[in-house]
Structure 1
């Protein structure tokens, strides 16, 4: 088992159990107590857990992944406003990279008003929607599809992204923190998003207000790698101020 996989398993265990000891983790993961202590030290350094005497607890601000149906139920109107603002940035003839997610699905719906676009996505549901709702040239990254979300992930999807170039990328995120940047709940998705960011000239982070002031285990990027953040006006004023202090462009809709 790779180190990052073991650390993700530790987080999953802590999600189900409020507090766990080093000895329990070592037994569950079949590694030494010293290895677990190193993992806990790292997880504490990225502010995912708090170490206690002989064990650890999960920090309340940590964000874990939700099924797509559950995500779709949250802040629907806010996502629609974000999508309208995002789609307004796209021009005819451009190549658009759409990350997987419910907010980017709303962007896909808005883009069908345009013509002559090339759309690349790692979301099979977005690809399926555009197949029947547009005449775009559509590419899907392929590879393994996550059952609960419809998101493609894996080394072949990353390799696909290494070979393409997009004018604009719309990236979703579950966790955004002014100090720590953008993070996600799974290593594979974090690596895929990193490659998306590298593959586009302009990178737009689209997220409703519930995604801010949160942290996940896997770092994706710092805010300096983002061209623009589009969020709804429900974003906490102090959070908005802290984002602006990083010099990132922030559009509230």
Structure 2
């Protein structure tokens, strides 16, 4: 992550904590000039996460909506890379894999490039990554591209996936509760995830620790329907213990 991306991530975290920030406060916290902060705020305004006001900015991130993809890609980036590598490490050569969308899904696409597998990607950005991988057989499901996310949604995606039988789904999500299940912000996205899990013999959920504190709008499935959870070492110990007690294999990396 670049220095500018680090600053952007810190600004987003500050907005999530207080919903408004001032240029002077950010300059002190980031140890940079107010000119640089104003430039950062202008760039972040273009992504839709904030609105600039006199002397600072206010958050435009609604609690029921997810952050833009570019902002989520900055969040927990190192942990997501470790999670993706560990999850792909559980895939055997020759397997057929349906790869979920999202930032961790994109990280997993890069890891899959070195494997001899058949991959059904549920996002256009992952397709681009995998298209040039010499040992990957790429199977495209079709569907409507969700704006800003590049994920595939809609009845075409659901129907095409339901006609396949796959070895493993690498699932991502917006929230996980050991008792409340796996959740997503978008209803159509949740439906595609359900179809992909139903078509797969095994589901591996790739979930960074921040997702344990969140519950999104649409239920994807109960945690009992997940076979393996790959998360990071900061995952809540009680949640990890509950998952393991329910017979779910959990890897903390």
Task: Tell me the TM-score normalised to structure 1 length.
Answer: 0.72
In the alignment, is residue 246 of structure 1 matched against residue 246 of structure 2? yes
1:186 Cα offset (Å)? 1.4
Find the residue that maps to 1:69 and give its secondary structure. helix
In structure 1, stretches of 5+ residues that fail to align are: 1-61
How many pairs does the alignment contain? 191
1:112 Cα offset (Å)? 1.6
Question: Which aligned pairs between 1:100-111 and structure 2 lie closer than 5 A?
Answer: 100-111=101-112
In the alignment, is residue 212 of structure 1 matched against residue 218 of structure 2? no
Match of 1:188 in 2: 188
Contact 1:213 1:239 in 2 (8 A): no
1:134 Cα offset (Å)? 3.4
For residues 242 and 91 of structure 1, what CA distance do their matches in structure 2 show?
28
Contact 1:63 1:215 in 2 (8 A): no
1:147 Cα offset (Å)? 1.6
For residues 91 and 132 of structure 1, what CA distance do their matches in structure 2 show?
20
Find the residue that maps to 1:190 and give its secondary structure. helix
Contact 2:172 2:207 in 1 (8 A): yes
Deviations 1:211-248 (A, max 9, x none): 11321121111011000000000112233233334332
For residues 124 and 161 of structure 1, what CA distance do their matches in structure 2 show?
16
Find the residue that maps to 1:140 and give its secondary structure. coil
In the alignment, is residue 65 of structure 1 matched against residue 84 of structure 2? no
For residues 131 and 245 of structure 2, what CA distance do their matches in structure 1 show?
41
Match of 1:165 in 2: 165
In structure 2, stretches of 5+ residues that fail to align are: 1-62
Contact 2:102 2:149 in 1 (8 A): yes
Deviations 1:63-96 (A, max 9, x none): 5322211110011110111111111111221111
In the alignment, is residue 198 of structure 1 matched against residue 198 of structure 2? yes
Q: Whose relative contact order is higher, 1 or 2, with alpha carbons under 8 Å and at least 6 apart?
A: 1
For residues 145 and 83 of structure 2, what CA distance do their matches in structure 1 show?
26
For residues 191 and 210 of structure 1, what CA distance do their matches in structure 2 show?
23
Contact 1:178 1:213 in 2 (8 A): no
What's the C-alpha RMSD, in Å, of the aligned pairs? Answer: 1.4
